[in-house]
Structure 1
Amino acid sequence: MRAVELSDLHKSIKKNKVLKGVNLLANTSEVIGIMGTNGCGKTTLLRIICGLTSIDRGVVNVLGQNIGPTSTLPEGIGVVFDPPGLLADLTGLQNLIVIAKIRNIMKTSALRQLLVKVGLNPDDKRSVSKYSQGMRKRLGLAISMMEDPRLVLMDEPTNGLDRSGIAELRGWISELKSSGTCVVIVGHYIEEMTAVCDRIYTMDDGRLSQSSGASSRTEPASPTIR
């Protein structure tokens, strides 16, 4: 099943042509990587997929639904931006509780378990403003997992994570793929991409081209996320 289908996407920002006819197919149970230099349009592409940025021309289909300016996104999309959008004056648990109440999902007990899964203490009374970059990234990952997502979009997910955190992230991505979720990752580092991705694309001059080598990688071990 197609999770994401992009056809002939064009997007300009302040007269700068950011996307020039981008095409992409991403299936369920698949991990897709998109690499490129800063400012090449990678994050803009993620924002288009999750409905935060409009396009000038083309077709965006997400989880079987065409997305337009007035469309409501289908349920089951998790997003991890860098930096993640968090309520800085609240604790990590309070951030999750606010989102859960807005969406009318998940009890506090389940939210506490989710924080433990990504390596955070649900009883930590510090506000998110006191969190390290890695802790904020872990909280962003927890938010993206709140609704058993069918599609997860990750913008620079390893930023701020130490070696053990990156290993845990790989394990979580592997779990998502095994459960049928499609994961689309934007990043800079080919080593991290080849460790988890089935296919890797390079964004250059507003266009996507597929890189070689990802499909022949050896599947890494899947450590458990603490």
Structure 2
Amino acid sequence: MTLIDIKNVSKSFKGIQLFENATAQFEKGKTYGIIGHNGSGKSVLFKMICGFISPDAGEITINPAYRDKQSNFPQNFGIIIDRPGYIGGISGFDNLKKLADIQQLITHQEIKRAMTLVGLEPDAKRKVKNYSLGMKQKLALAQAIMENQEVLILDEPFNALDIDSVQSIRQLLFTFKKEGKTIILTSHNQEDINLLCDYVFQIRQHTLEVV
């Protein structure tokens, strides 16, 4: 089943042409890697898929089963793009609880389970402003998975993680693959791409080429 269909998409950003007639399809239950040099448009591509920005031309279609009927935003997507903003003066759990309260889909125990899965202590009182970069990355990962989202859009999910945490998050993503989740990720580490991805697209000459 085609989950995301990118058709003849063109996009310039801050005066730079990033995509021109780019086309790609993403199937349900597969893991995809997006590679390209810094500034090639990986994050912009993810923002277009998630409906945060629009293409200049062409279209990106989300399967109706994964589209919010009341808006242009996809649903059941867990997303890491750029660095999420959190309230620095409260704990990681309290930040996630505030976000979970928006849709009220999960319990406090499910939030704590997500934090534990990514290597955070859910009952710790440490304020997010005192988190290391790696801890903030884990908090972003917990947010992306805490509602058991079926599609994960992960821009540099291993950024700032130590070696042990990288191994742990890789194993977590392998588990999600076995569960049939759809994963689209970027990574500067080719090993991440080689180990995790079923298919790889490279951004080259403003298009998406299968590697």
Pairwise same-fold verdict (TM > 0.5): yes
Residue in 2 that maps onto 1:185: 185
TM-score by length of structure 1 reads 0.86
Question: What SS does the aligned partner of 2:171 have?
Answer: helix
Runs of 4+ in 1 over 6 A off after TM superposition: none
> Shift in Å at residue 81 of structure 1?
2.3
Within-5 A mapping of 1:1-226: 1-64=1-64, 71-211=71-211
Counterpart Cα distance in 2 of 1:149 and 1:136: 20
Aligned length: 209
Deviations 1:124-167 (A, max 9, x none): 11111111111111111110112221211011111111111111
Distance (Å, rounded) in 1 between the aligned partners of 2:24 and 2:168: 28
For residues 101 and 207 of structure 2, the distance between their equivalents in structure 1, rounded to whole angstroms, comes to: 40
User: How many angstroms does 1:66 deviate by?
Assistant: 9.5
Distance 1:205 1:84 in 2: 29
CA distance in 2: counterparts of 1:192 and 1:81, whole angstroms: 18
Tell me the CA shift for residue 39 of structure 1.
0.7
Once residues 185 and 66 of structure 1 are traced to their aligned partners in structure 2, the CA distance between those partners, rounded to angstroms, is 18
Change in Cα spacing, 1:72 to 1:120, as seen in structure 2 (3 Å) is same
Q: Would the aligned equivalents of 1:10 and 1:18 in 2 still touch at CA under 8 Å?
A: yes
Compare 102-111 and 24-33 and name the one that shifted more. 102-111
Shift of 1:73: 2.0
Q: Distance in 1 between matches of 2:148 and 2:103?
A: 13
1:6 Cα deviation (Å)? 0.7
Q: 1:221 maps to what in 2?
A: none
Specify the code of the residue in structure 2 equivalent to 1:59: E
**For residue 183 of structure 1, what is the amino acid of its counterpart?**
I
Deviations 1:53-83 (A, max 9, x none): 111111211233798xx94323200001242
Whole-Å separation in 2 of the counterparts to 1:169 and 1:109: 20
Deviation at 1:99, TM superposition (A): 0.6
Q: Distance in 2 between matches of 1:132 and 1:63?
A: 37
**Unmatched tracts of structure 1, length 5 or more:** 212-226
